[in-house]
Amino acid sequence: MGELKADVVVVGAGHAGCEAAAAAARMGSAVVLVTLHRETVAQMPCNPAMGGIGKGHLIAELDALGGLQGWAADRAGIQFKILNRSRGPAVWGPRAQCDKEIYGRLMLRLMEGLPGVTLVEGEVEGLLLEDGCIYGVRLEGGVRIEAPAVILTTGTFLGGLLHTGEDRRPGGRFGERPSTGLGGELTRLGLELRRFKTGTPPRLAKASLDLERLDVQKGDPEPRPFSWRTRAVRNRCVCWVTRTPPEVRAIIRENLHRSPLFAGAIDGVGPRYCPSIEDKVVRFPHHESHTIFLEPEGVNSGSIYVNGLSTSLPQDVQERVVRTVPGLEGAAFLRYGYAVEYDVVAPRQVTRRLECREVPGLYLAGQLLGTSGYEEAAALGLLAGINAVHGLRGEEPFVPGREDAYLGVLVDDVCGREHREPYRMFTSRAEHRLLLGVDSARERLMAEGRRLSLVPERAFHVEQERWRKRRLARTVLEEARINPNAATRERVRRVAGVELSSPSSWAQVLRRHDVDAENVAAALSELEGLTAEDRRIVVGMLRYDGYLARHEHERERLRRMRHIPIPADLDPASIPGLSREVAEALEVEQPQTIADAERLPGITPAALAILTGRIARGGGGE
Amino acid sequence: MATASSSGLSSVLHGGVDTIVARATPAGRGALAVIRVSGPETAAVAQRVCPEVDTGSGWRAGLATLRGASGETLETAVVVAFPGPRSYTGEDMLEVTLHGSPYLVEAVIDAFVAAGARRAGPGEFTRRAVANGKLDLVQAEAVQDLIRADVAWQVRLAREQLAGTLSRRFAEVRSALVCLLASLEASLDFAERDVVVEPGVLERQHDRCRGLVEELLATASAGARIRDGVRVVILGGPNTGKSTLFNNLCGSERAIVSPHPGTTRDVLEAELDLEGVRMVIQDTAGLRSGGDEVEKEGRRRAVGAAASAAVVLLLWPTDAGEGEEAPETPSGVAVLRVRSKADLAAGDPLNDGWLAVSCYTGEGLEALRERLVRLVAGEIADLGGEVAIAERHRRALEQAMTELEACDLSRPELAAEGVRWALRAVQEMTGEVDSDEVLDGVFSAFCIGK
């Protein structure tokens, strides 16, 4: 029986596991990273893209803290695009189509070469426990890895069950067997599990498709990287768009009884934001047609991901459906779509440092906590890695607040609230969305990354210098007055296309609704010395000003409010507007201050506002 | 709305439900007092205090002898049993109506306590009603208003709120706001290619939100008028007998009365309750030109008071000289025209819609009171009984309105901010809205995704 010793064991080398292992190692811990197979490290088993709206925000924050995902996506990226460009900058979502093979290989090489990380192939079959505390894991075959902190990031492998039509077989991903022993271990520890479901569309052979006929989707003309580690990226491929024809509806309706979703074979709850085509046809019967995006899985890959056609219908039905779609008439299947059901740990069993309440030293991250998506997984992985190290050192946990980062929103929601479906990040989940744009991620978090020694000093100083310049530029725009005379009028007309009638600052001109601020900023000599991107950021912030001030005020209020004591005779049930869930939590936990209340699971910012309002009005019992 | 469906919450909050007792009528001496008992042990407690009462067959009043802890007879009272869940709190209940002597009431409560009940904390009955889903929180507030209301109209309004009208209206506002927010969020959280919000939808949803808030706000101001009393202003030329009428309506010599024009200089005010309709009546300076600075200021105030009043009592004396004209009244205000000093000249009492009144003989005063009540009540009746009665409702709705007015739908991330703030403003009435609920709206309205 072999034996290994480490500070931290990470079980699973997906997006969560890799971030956790890298963070812990770079903070100085000895890490063992256990994966079932070397070849499947950091796989992208579903769509070939990283980022997007909400998800791109997570990558940006991860990157500011020294995480890997943005860096890897820049290198594996083959098409870069910022979604929501027609909206304001707070909701811009950078996204990259990636070459899956390059992505996985990059991560594998990084994990193999990262000082402090030992990559081990094997299946974890049990946890080592003594007096309710964890001290390591046991692999199949008896090898023991001892470590005071264990991070589980097993993705969809716990109790995994794959469905394609009537066919179902145990599996974590296509062609991979599930992890069976570990699920039983968690149940024995008293953790409550529940069942989620997710699905993926078929993959088609590129050579079999008639792509010439279809509309092309290109990346941004000036692609922008995710990471401060990356100087530049370039687009290397396009995607294609097509639509399902009306007859798809009839084919699916005829075969619904053979769909595991509708025939009742699947108990797990699937994500509504990522429905299968059969779901879409049933729920929106009046929609004649649904959009389909054809996305290459790699720059030289012959595999096309059929985005929009997620399904678990039987193979013959999948073939019929796909071959009715324009451009796909001759499609050859490389892989059929399937649904996967898996076990997740029900919320409220981990603290915000992602440690099991009942099992000190056991941390969870990724899909195991009920999230979906590479980005959510990576974000939780990074936080688990940091907190495992802090836990070992007896340091304060690192938990960003909801008002500080999407990471804070994520942790808060995942740990504290019931969710009925795999949790995906949306910008609508962030109360302080306007403060949390991708543009401000580094300014918000990079200092933390530096403090955690996950961001090198030099990179931090380069960024700091940018922030300084942006602040300076802002002051100039705000303070320099333009007095209307022939020359200044002419200039404002030329640059901004509007008339200057009274003395104003450039800031005032740029805030006007009839001014294309971004173009003006590009032409302003006052902003000399700023990169095009920094000009855009300065102007973007300027145009949010009134709103940002309000949020800053709110953030201040939140901070002050944290010190407010909660009167002992306060009866939560008598407070109008509080949900029953929140009232119960307050009653049971009896927090002493608002700050204590805030840490309770399920407490929303709205609930805190109501609670504080009541206390401020002198509300005791009635 | 936060309503609990079972007694589950109650047991969580109170660590197992016990049986409570309290006086339900206001403290102090009254002809009658009511004592309430509520909780699972009601039958057992009743068995000890008033064994004759059959708690099994409810909703029937019966006479029963109440006995103290040592079996002594305390009082014969009317007792009604309300078996749960068809009772105010949803639990088994008992209501005892007895003579209002404070000593007797205390003795009976003591007897119930000795029999196993606990003295209830303030609001505990209502809280249990809320916990058991018998009342929602807006209704519970209405109960508080009902308890405080001291005139008939307020009682009626509070009752109607109790029936849930106001809760329903707030729920409407809430769901309209959530719908609008869902559309905005859908257009933000899903790329243009995934979600298309049909043109005109945002505008329609925005209009609906504003419309609903506006309607509620309109009733809120009327609600305040009812709570504070509808304002009636007496207006007229100098020396037309305004102060005499004012004193007469008040039933006291509040205003100084003299034969000299210009005696009243400031606005005098008194509260009045006529047949259960509460009003605030104001006496003003006579309207004429000239006079000193003080008198001019008095007139300015008189005109101001009339402009913001609900009803103006316009006085025009029977002995008015040739060529004199009645002062103008502000538009949009109900006007009751009164021919004062009717004793000075005989005439048709209801000549041209003018009501002849003499405070000297009492002629027409009864008719004046009656018409005043009808007018004021009419003002109130227009509200249809759905009134935002609490001042904080009004403030919250105004805040929401300001946010909605500022929404620029062409910049959805900023418009969404406005709607979120609007929801925050009304959340104490409507319950909080979390992002999951908004996403529910998104997923039910839009076919999302890959």
Residue A622 lies in a domain: no
A54 in reach of chain B (CB within 8 A) = yes
For residues A505 and A611, membership in a common domain is answered with no
Residues 114-133 in A contacting B (C-alpha not used; CB under 8 Å):
none
For residues A366 and A500, membership in a common domain is answered with no
Last residue of a domain, one of A432, A454, A476: A454
Instruction: Show Cβ contacts of residue A271 under 8 Å, excluding neighbours closer than 6 positions.
Output: A198, A372, A421, A422, A424
Nearest C-alpha in B relative to A310 = B450
Residue A514 lies in a domain: yes
Answer whether CATH 3.40.50.300 is correct for domain B228-381: yes
Angle between helices A15-26 and A374-393 (to 10 degrees): 30
A290 with B447: Cβ contact below 8 A = yes
- Model pLDDT, residue A65: 98
B185 with A428: Cβ contact below 8 A = yes
For residues A29 and A172, membership in a common domain is answered with yes
Token readout for A420 is: 């009925």
Of the partner residues B413, B434, B447, the one whose CB lies closest to the CB of residue A606: B434
The tally of CA atoms less than 13 A away on the side-chain side of residue B162 is 16
**pLDDT confidence bin for A592, thresholds 50/70/90:** confident
B443 in reach of chain A (CB within 8 A) = yes
Neighbours of A289 (CB within 10 A): 13
Number of domains in chain A: 3
A84 in reach of chain B (CB within 8 A) = yes
Q: Which residue of A82, A431, A514, A574 is the best one to mutate when testing the B interface, meaning the one whose CB has the most B CBs within 10 A?
A: A574
Last residue of a domain, one of A430, A454, A478: A454
How far CA B438 is from CA of A207, A422, A429, B261, in Å, comes to 43, 16, 9, 66
A174 in reach of chain B (CB within 8 A) = no
B416 with A428: Cβ contact below 8 A = yes
Do the domains at B8-135 and B228-381 have one common CATH topology?
Answer: no
How many angstroms separate the CA atoms of B392 and A299, rounded?
62
Spell out the alpha helix ranges (H) of A394-513. Answer: 406-416, 441-451, 457-479, 486-496, 506-511
Q: Domain holding A536: CATH number?
A: 1.10.10.1800
- Model pLDDT, residue B348: 55
Nearest C-alpha in A relative to B418 = A547
For residues A443 and A476, membership in a common domain is answered with no
Residue A388 lies in a domain: yes
For residues A399 and A425, membership in a common domain is answered with yes
How many angstroms separate the CA atoms of A311 and A296, rounded?
19
**pLDDT confidence bin for A554, thresholds 50/70/90:** confident
- Model pLDDT, residue B390: 62
Angle between helices B137-148 and B152-162 (to 10 degrees): 160
A619 in reach of chain B (CB within 8 A) = no
- Model pLDDT, residue B160: 60
With H, G, I as helix, E, B as strand and everything else as coil, classify residue A225.
Answer: coil
For residues A429 and A470, membership in a common domain is answered with no
Of the partner residues A310, A573, A610, the one whose CB lies closest to the CB of residue B428: A610
B411 with A88: Cβ contact below 8 A = yes
B2 with A578: Cβ contact below 8 A = yes
For residues A151 and A182, membership in a common domain is answered with yes
pLDDT digits (tens, 9 = 90+) for A199-237: 899 999 999 999 999 999 999 999 999 999 999 999 999
Comparing B24 with A467, the larger pLDDT belongs to A467
Domain B8-135, CATH number (from 1.10.3090.10, 3.40.1530.20, 3.30.360.10, 3.30.1360.120): 3.30.1360.120
Comparing B374 with A124, the larger pLDDT belongs to A124
In chain B, what are the domain boundaries?
A: 8-135, 165-224+389-445, 228-381
The answer to whether B447 touches B198, Cβ cutoff 8 Å, is: no
- Model pLDDT, residue B222: 62
ipTM: 0.87
Kindly give the confidence (pLDDT) of every residue in chain B, 450 residues in length, as a single tens digit, with 9 standing for 90 and above. 333 333 333 333 333 478 999 888 766 566 788 999 999 999 999 989 998 888 777 777 888 889 888 888 888 889 999 988 888 888 899 999 988 777 788 889 989 999 999 888 766 787 777 777 777 666 666 555 555 544 455 555 555 655 567 778 888 999 999 999 999 998 899 876 666 788 899 999 999 999 999 988 877 666 666 666 678 899 888 888 888 888 888 877 777 777 777 777 778 888 777 766 678 888 888 877 777 788 788 888 888 888 878 788 888 888 776 666 777 777 778 888 888 887 777 655 555 678 888 888 888 888 888 888 777 766 655 544 445 556 667 888 999 999 999 999 989 999 999 999 999 888 877 777 777 777 777 777 766 654
A573 with B131: Cβ contact below 8 A = yes
How far CA B158 is from CA of B87, B375, B397, in Å, comes to 19, 21, 19
For residues A364 and A478, membership in a common domain is answered with no
Q: What is the CATH number of domain B165-224+389-445?
A: 1.20.120.430
- Model pLDDT, residue B129: 79
Nearest C-alpha in B relative to A425 = B189
Last residue of a domain, one of A502, A527, A553: A553
With H, G, I as helix, E, B as strand and everything else as coil, classify residue A530.
Answer: coil
For residues A219 and A236, membership in a common domain is answered with yes
Instruction: Find, among A45, A57, A143, the residue nearest to A92 by Cα.
Output: A57
Instruction: Specify which of A49-53, A177-181, B119-123, B301-305 reaches the highest per-range mean pLDDT.
Output: A49-53
For residues A569 and A549, membership in a common domain is answered with no
Reply yes or no on whether the pLDDT at A395 is more than 90.
yes
Residues of A in contact with B17 (CB under 8 A): none
**Structural domain range at position A514:** 457-553
pLDDT digits (tens, 9 = 90+) for A351-370: 889 999 889 999 999 999 99
Rounded average pLDDT over A548-575: 81
Q: Domain holding A423: CATH number?
A: 3.50.50.60
Rounded average pLDDT over A528-532: 89
CA distance A377 to chain B (A): 19
How many angstroms separate the CA atoms of A44 and A369, rounded?
18
Q: Residue B342: what residue type? A: A
A26 in reach of chain B (CB within 8 A) = no
Can you point out the beta strands (E) in A147-227?
149-152, 161-164, 167-170, 193-200, 203-205, 215-217
The answer to whether A10 touches A32, Cβ cutoff 8 Å, is: yes
pLDDT digits (tens, 9 = 90+) for A398-445: 999 888 999 999 998 998 877 888 999 999 999 999 999 999 999 999
Please identify which residue in the block is written with the tokens 């002629």: B363
Q: Residue B62: what residue type? A: G
Token readout for B18 is: 């016990």
Range from A249-258, A280-289, A306-315, B370-379 carrying the lowest mean pLDDT: B370-379
Q: Residue B240: what residue type? A: T
Of the partner residues A87, A573, A579, the one whose CB lies closest to the CB of residue B412: A87
A421 in reach of chain B (CB within 8 A) = no
How many angstroms separate the CA atoms of B281 and A19, rounded?
75
For residues A175 and A313, membership in a common domain is answered with yes
Reply yes or no on whether the pLDDT at A87 is more than 70.
yes
B173 in reach of chain A (CB within 8 A) = no
Nearest C-alpha in A relative to B10 = A573
Task: Find out whether the peptide bond into B412 is cis, omega within 30 degrees of 0.
Answer: no
For residues A90 and A130, membership in a common domain is answered with yes
